[in-house]
Structures are given as C-alpha cells and as structure tokens.
C-alpha cells in the first residue's frame, strides 16, 4: 500500500527564493496549459492532447523570451504541473459522464500566486535523494535541512514540497510499504461519533471532545481583529496575516494529532471496528456546522480506514439511516425517535435503562456484524494517507 510520510523542512533564505521560483514556474505552466485548452474549446478546435500540450507550453515556451526563465527550474517540476492539469481534466470528464461517483467535479481553474498553499512535486526522474547527512537534495534547489521524526521504511517514489499558509515548508514522501498485520484479537468495537463526546465505544468508554477550535476562538478572534485593522498591501498586514495562519495551523495540528493517537489506539485494540456513515457535508450546512467541522469526523474515519488496511484489521461502515438511537440494544425493540436532549431512556418492553450514546454504539456494533459480509472495507482500495507512521 502507498503511504505518505510528512517531514518539516527548514530551507535557507536562498533556498526559499529557489523554491518560490519553482512554485511560480509550475503555476505558470499549469495556467498556460489551461488557457490553451480553453482557447481551443472556444475556437471549436479539437481537444489538445497531453503530448502536444507539453511541447507547446514547456518545450517551445522555453525558446521565447517571455518564458525563457522556465529553464531555470527542474523540468520534472513543470511536467508534474502539467500532469496535475491532465488529472483534473480526466476527473472532470469522468464526473460529467457519470463514471466518477460522488459529488460533481468542477472543471479546472487557474491558479493564483496569492494561493495560501503552494506545492511542487519531484519524481524519481528528477534524481532527488536523501543524503548521508540526512538532508533532502533537490535539483536546482540544493540540500534542504529536514527534521526527521522517523525513518522512511522504503525508498520513496516521489516527494512533494509544500509551503502552507503559515509559511512552513514540508516534504511529503510517497512510499510503497507492505502491510504489517498485528497479532489477532477477539475484541471488536462499535463507535458512535458525536459532539458532546467525540466518540463513545460499545464497551462503554467515552472519549471527550477536545473542541480545539472552540478553545482557541479567543486567540483567533484577537488575531483576526488585528489583521482587519492593518492597511491593505502593507508589511504589517502581511505579518498579521501570517499570525492568523499560524494560529489556525496550531488548531489543525492539534486536531490531527488527537485523531492519529485515538485511531491508532482503537485499531491496535480491536480486530474489527464498526462506524456509522455520516453525511458530514449535510451537517456542515446546519446550525451545528462549526462544531461538526471542529470535530473532524471525516479525517478520523479516513485514518481508521488506512490503519485498518495497514495492520490487518477490519473496518465496516453501516448505513446512516440505521435507527441506532431508537432501538433497545438489549431486546431489539424499536422504541421510537427521541429528542437530542434525552441522554438516557428506559425501554418500554424490557425496562432496561440505556445511556443514549452507549446504546447507539452497541447497536452500531450489532448492525456492523450483520452487514460485515456486504459492506466490508477492503485493504486493496487504500489511498495515500499522511501521518502513516502513527
């Protein structure tokens, strides 16, 4: 399976300038190629092939004075920018024709130099390497200092250099790794995700909701107010914007760290894990939107997915319309819907007293066991995921 390993980079001022040049060249190639295809469509001309587009916006473009500076960066960076555009077009066409499931994919859009996130990718053709001294050597950029939090398990097939909104630099390595099955266990867990408690397990354990965004709201509000007072285009406004971005980055990092540790713990302890299929996009449009996004359910379930595949565990999702909060987990009687403020209730049939969330988790466990042959999440569908070493 393919996994991503992310590490912090600390480029020198000269290397920052070289990276900025590479970001800009990749963006220009992407925009030139997109413009060429849009103009061909408007003129009624045939769709420009990938090979012809590469010749036009890279090979031939380097020969004209207006684009001669494209030769100052690695050619692989430019080719990968073009590959990203081609992938975006294929996804768009597959979505329009119905071959791609899920939400509709919009056509590619132009990239801006003011985008909060900038990225370039190097493949093996670029001959990047990790030096004996532990630095990342990139063509036409140099040896970048890397903060190694763990060793790479295998030779990486590509590396993506990312600059985020907070001005931090990261190296994201794609590594092909074999699965590492853990010793089998008989334990299984149903998980009820919520807002009062982040997760309630079928064994009765309740994981408190950290509410990282809510706890940082005062600091974020003050930073945003300071930004709004700064004159547009000034250096002080740029510094204030960076402070806002760093404050948000701290919240995102804390949320990601929490989700990694909890998901790893659950996967290690249980042979099979059952979760409910939430409609997060729908809940994100309700009055609970801020709390829903602060919880980060989708990222947590995604971590459970790839860790289950990596460690030889089973993850099963049950339908979102299962009445897990309405059924008595003791006798199985459907007791009807209950308002959200009702946190405990007594079954009218067997007189069992239930905690609402624990009862739902037990019902998820039972429904997941019944649905397991039909809705089994298979390791072969694994996609690249960050934070693989956790």
The CA-to-CA distance between both ends of the chain, in Å, stands at: 16
Interatomic CA distance for residues 347 and 366, integer angstroms:
18
Strand pairing class (314-318; 272-276): parallel
Under 8 Å between Cβ of 384 and 309:
no
Token pair for 228: 């709004």
Token pair for 287: 């009055």
Q: How many residues does the chain have?
A: 390
**Alpha-carbon distances of 304 from 196, 203, 335, rounded to whole Å:** 21, 18, 31
Under 8 Å between Cβ of 177 and 33:
no
Residue 276 among the catalytic residues: yes
| Site of tokens 């740029």 | 238
Interatomic CA distance for residues 301 and 279, integer angstroms:
12
Give the SS3 label for residue 382. Answer: coil
Under 8 Å between Cβ of 80 and 157:
no
Q: Which of 188, 192, 294, 335 is catalytic?
A: 192
Residue 192 among the catalytic residues: yes
Residue 322 among the catalytic residues: no
R_g of the chain computed on alpha carbons: 25
Give the CA diameter of the chain.
83
Give the SS3 label for residue 89. Answer: helix
Closest by Cα among 23, 25, 14, 6 to 141? 14
Interatomic CA distance for residues 31 and 201, integer angstroms:
49
Q: Which of 84, 276, 294, 305 is catalytic?
A: 276
CA atoms within 13 A on the CB side of 301: 21
Please report which helix (H) or strand (E) contains residue 321, including its range.
Answer: none
By annotation, the residues acting in catalysis are 192, 276, 357
């Amino acid at each position: 399976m393919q996994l991503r390993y992310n590490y912090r980079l600390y480029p020198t001022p000269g290397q920052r300038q070289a990276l900025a040049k590479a970001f800009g060249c990749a963006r220009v190639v992407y925009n030139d190629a997109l413009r060429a295809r849009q103009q061909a469509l408007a003129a009624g001309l045939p769709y420009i092939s990938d090979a012809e587009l590469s010749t036009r916006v890279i090979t031939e473009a380097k020969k004209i004075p207006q684009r001669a500076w494209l030769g100052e960066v690695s050619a692989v960076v430019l080719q990968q920018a073009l590959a990203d555009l081609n992938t975006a077009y294929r996804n768009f066409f597959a979505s329009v024709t119905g071959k791609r499931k899920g939400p509709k994919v919009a056509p590619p859009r132009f990239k801006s130099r003011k985008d909060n996130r900038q990225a370039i990718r190097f493949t093996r053709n670029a001959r990047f390497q990790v030096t004996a001294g532990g630095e990342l050597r990139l063509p036409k950029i140099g040896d970048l200092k890397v903060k190694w939090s763990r060793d790479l398990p295998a030779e990486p097939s590509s590396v993506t250099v990312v600059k985020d909104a907070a001005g931090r630099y990261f190296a994201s390595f794609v590594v092909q790794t074999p699965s590492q099955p853990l010793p089998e266990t008989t334990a299984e867990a149903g998980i009820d995700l919520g807002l009062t408690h982040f997760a309630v397990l079928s064994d009765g354990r309740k994981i408190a909701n950290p509410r990282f965004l809510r706890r940082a709201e005062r600091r974020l509000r003050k930073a945003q107010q300071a930004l709004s007072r700064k004159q547009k285009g000034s250096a002080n406004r740029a510094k204030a914007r960076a402070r806002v971005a760093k404050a948000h980055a701290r919240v995102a990092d804390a949320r990601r760290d929490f989700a990694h540790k909890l998901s790893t713990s659950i996967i290690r302890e249980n042979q099979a894990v059952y979760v409910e299929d939430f409609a997060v996009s729908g809940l994100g449009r309700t009055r609970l939107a801020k709390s829903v996004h602060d919880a980060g359910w989708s990222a947590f379930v995604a971590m459970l997915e790839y860790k289950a595949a990596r460690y030889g565990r089973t993850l099963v999702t049950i339908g979102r319309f299962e009445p897990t909060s309405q059924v008595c987990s003791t006798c199985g009687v459907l007791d009807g819907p209950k308002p959200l403020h009702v946190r405990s209730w007594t079954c009218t049939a067997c007189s069992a007293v239930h905690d609402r969330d624990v009862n739902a988790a037990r019902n998820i466990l039972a429904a997941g066991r019944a649905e397991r042959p039909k809705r089994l999440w298979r390791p072969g569908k694994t996609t690249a995921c960050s934070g693989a070493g956790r």
